[in-house]
Protein backbone atom coordinates (compact mmCIF):
# COMPACT_ATOMS: atom_id res chain seq x y z
CA UNK A 1 0.00 0.00 0.00
CA UNK A 2 2.76 2.48 0.90
CA UNK A 3 4.60 1.77 -2.37
CA UNK A 4 1.43 2.48 -4.38
CA UNK A 5 0.85 5.77 -2.53
CA UNK A 6 4.50 6.74 -2.92
CA UNK A 7 4.28 6.09 -6.67
CA UNK A 8 1.08 8.16 -6.89
CA UNK A 9 2.86 11.01 -5.12
CA UNK A 10 5.86 10.78 -7.44
CA UNK A 11 3.58 10.85 -10.51
CA UNK A 12 1.81 13.91 -9.17
CA UNK A 13 5.15 15.66 -8.52
CA UNK A 14 6.37 14.78 -12.03
CA UNK A 15 3.18 16.14 -13.58
CA UNK A 16 3.48 19.34 -11.55
CA UNK A 17 7.06 19.80 -12.72
CA UNK A 18 6.07 19.19 -16.35
CA UNK A 19 3.24 21.73 -16.11
CA UNK A 20 5.60 24.32 -14.64
CA UNK A 21 8.06 23.74 -17.46
CA UNK A 22 5.24 23.93 -20.01
CA UNK A 23 4.22 27.32 -18.60
CA UNK A 24 7.83 28.57 -18.30
CA UNK A 25 7.69 28.67 -14.51
CA UNK A 26 11.12 28.38 -12.89
CA UNK A 27 11.26 25.17 -10.86
CA UNK A 28 14.05 23.40 -8.99
CA UNK A 29 13.93 20.06 -7.16
CA UNK A 30 14.60 20.19 -3.42
CA UNK A 31 17.35 18.19 -1.74
CA UNK A 32 16.62 14.72 -0.42
CA UNK A 33 16.82 16.07 3.15
CA UNK A 34 14.38 18.92 2.40
CA UNK A 35 11.97 16.52 0.73
CA UNK A 36 12.02 14.03 3.57
CA UNK A 37 12.26 16.20 6.67
CA UNK A 38 11.01 19.66 5.70
CA UNK A 39 8.11 18.72 3.37
CA UNK A 40 9.61 20.59 0.43
CA UNK A 41 9.36 18.98 -3.02
CA UNK A 42 10.38 21.95 -5.16
CA UNK A 43 11.27 25.61 -5.27
CA UNK A 44 9.10 27.51 -7.75
CA UNK A 45 8.90 31.09 -8.88
CA UNK A 46 5.23 31.99 -8.85
CA UNK A 47 4.31 35.63 -9.14
CA UNK A 48 7.54 37.42 -8.16
CA UNK A 49 9.20 35.23 -5.51
CA UNK A 50 10.81 31.82 -5.35
CA UNK A 51 9.02 29.77 -2.72
CA UNK A 52 9.20 26.22 -1.38
CA UNK A 53 6.26 23.95 -2.19
CA UNK A 54 5.01 20.52 -1.17
CA UNK A 55 2.83 18.72 -3.73
CA UNK A 56 -0.13 16.61 -2.58
CA UNK A 57 -1.70 14.12 -4.97
CA UNK A 58 -5.45 13.54 -5.17
CA UNK A 59 -6.70 11.32 -2.37
CA UNK A 60 -9.35 8.65 -2.00
CA UNK A 61 -12.24 8.78 0.41
CA UNK A 62 -14.11 5.51 0.89
CA UNK A 63 -12.08 4.01 -1.96
CA UNK A 64 -13.02 6.68 -4.51
CA UNK A 65 -10.57 9.22 -5.93
CA UNK A 66 -11.92 12.71 -5.27
CA UNK A 67 -10.86 16.35 -5.17
CA UNK A 68 -13.57 17.90 -2.99
CA UNK A 69 -11.63 17.42 0.26
CA UNK A 70 -8.01 17.92 1.16
CA UNK A 71 -6.21 15.76 3.69
CA UNK A 72 -4.46 18.10 6.11
CA UNK A 73 -1.82 16.26 8.14
CA UNK A 74 -1.90 17.27 11.81
CA UNK A 75 0.38 14.50 13.12
CA UNK A 76 2.64 12.35 10.98
CA UNK A 77 3.16 8.60 11.20
CA UNK A 78 5.87 9.08 13.85
CA UNK A 79 3.56 11.10 16.10
CA UNK A 80 5.37 14.37 15.31
CA UNK A 81 3.75 17.51 13.94
CA UNK A 82 2.39 17.04 10.42
CA UNK A 83 3.20 19.02 7.30
CA UNK A 84 0.73 21.74 8.27
CA UNK A 85 3.29 22.91 10.83
CA UNK A 86 6.42 22.64 8.62
CA UNK A 87 7.97 26.11 9.04
CA UNK A 88 10.19 26.03 5.93
CA UNK A 89 7.42 24.96 3.56
CA UNK A 90 5.77 28.09 2.16
CA UNK A 91 3.25 26.66 -0.31
CA UNK A 92 1.23 23.49 -0.67
CA UNK A 93 -0.10 22.41 -4.05
CA UNK A 94 -3.10 20.11 -4.08
CA UNK A 95 -3.65 18.10 -7.23
CA UNK A 96 -7.25 18.32 -8.41
CA UNK A 97 -8.78 16.79 -11.51
CA UNK A 98 -8.39 19.96 -13.60
CA UNK A 99 -5.50 21.82 -11.95
CA UNK A 100 -3.09 22.17 -9.07
CA UNK A 101 -4.54 24.57 -6.53
CA UNK A 102 -1.74 26.24 -4.64
CA UNK A 103 -2.15 27.78 -1.21
CA UNK A 104 0.13 29.41 1.32
CA UNK A 105 0.60 26.92 4.15
CA UNK A 106 0.38 29.64 6.80
CA UNK A 107 -3.00 30.82 5.45
CA UNK A 108 -4.41 27.28 5.72
CA UNK A 109 -3.05 27.02 9.25
CA UNK A 110 -4.58 30.40 10.18
CA UNK A 111 -7.92 29.34 8.70
CA UNK A 112 -7.99 26.05 10.62
CA UNK A 113 -6.95 27.78 13.86
CA UNK A 114 -9.64 30.43 13.40
CA UNK A 115 -12.33 27.76 13.05
CA UNK A 116 -10.88 25.39 15.65
CA UNK A 117 -9.32 22.10 14.62
CA UNK A 118 -12.18 20.22 16.34
CA UNK A 119 -14.66 21.62 13.80
CA UNK A 120 -13.21 19.36 11.08
CA UNK A 121 -13.65 15.63 10.56
CA UNK A 122 -10.61 13.77 11.92
CA UNK A 123 -9.20 10.86 9.94
CA UNK A 124 -6.49 8.38 10.80
CA UNK A 125 -5.05 7.32 7.47
CA UNK A 126 -4.77 3.57 7.22
CA UNK A 127 -1.69 3.73 4.98
CA UNK A 128 0.54 5.27 7.65
CA UNK A 129 -1.55 5.98 10.79
CA UNK A 130 -1.06 9.73 10.46
CA UNK A 131 -3.75 11.97 11.94
CA UNK A 132 -5.42 14.21 9.38
CA UNK A 133 -8.47 16.38 9.08
CA UNK A 134 -10.63 16.59 6.01
CA UNK A 135 -10.81 20.17 4.80
CA UNK A 136 -13.50 20.91 2.20
CA UNK A 137 -11.96 22.57 -0.85
CA UNK A 138 -14.90 24.94 -1.16
CA UNK A 139 -14.18 26.33 2.31
CA UNK A 140 -10.76 27.67 1.32
CA UNK A 141 -11.23 28.60 -2.34
CA UNK A 142 -10.85 32.25 -1.30
CA UNK A 143 -7.30 31.49 -0.08
CA UNK A 144 -5.94 30.27 -3.43
CA UNK A 145 -2.50 31.74 -4.12
CA UNK A 146 -2.09 30.38 -7.66
CA UNK A 147 -3.76 27.89 -10.01
CA UNK A 148 -1.74 25.77 -12.42
CA UNK A 149 -4.09 24.23 -14.99
CA UNK A 150 -3.51 20.79 -16.48
Residue 25 has pLDDT above 70, yes or no: yes
Task: Kindly compute the dihedral angle of the four CA atoms of residues 80, 83, 86, 90, in this order, to the nearest 10 degrees.
Answer: 180
pLDDT digits (tens, 9 = 90+) for 26-64: 999 999 999 999 999 999 999 999 999 999 999 999 889
Mean pLDDT of 114-118: 92
Looking at residue 94, its pLDDT comes to: 98
pLDDT digits (tens, 9 = 90+) for 7-22: 889 999 999 999 999 9
Mean pLDDT of 116-139: 89
What domains can you pick out in the chain, each with its CATH number? 2-66+86-113+140-149 (3.40.1350)
Task: Kindly compute the dihedral angle of the four CA atoms of residues 114, 118, 119, 123, in this order, to the nearest 10 degrees.
Answer: 120
Mean pLDDT of 98-127: 93
pTM: 0.93
Pairing of strands 144-149, 99-104: antiparallel
Rounded Cα distance between 138 and 49, Å, is: 27
> Which carries the bigger pLDDT value, residue 55 or residue 128?
55
Looking at residue 125, its pLDDT comes to: 79
Rounded Cα distance between 6 and 64, Å, is: 18
Residue 5 has pLDDT above 70, yes or no: no
Amino acid sequence: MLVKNHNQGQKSEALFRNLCERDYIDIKKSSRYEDRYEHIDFYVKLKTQVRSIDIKSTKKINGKLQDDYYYIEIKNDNGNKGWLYAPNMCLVGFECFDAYRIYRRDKILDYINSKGVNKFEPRTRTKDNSLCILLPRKDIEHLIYYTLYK
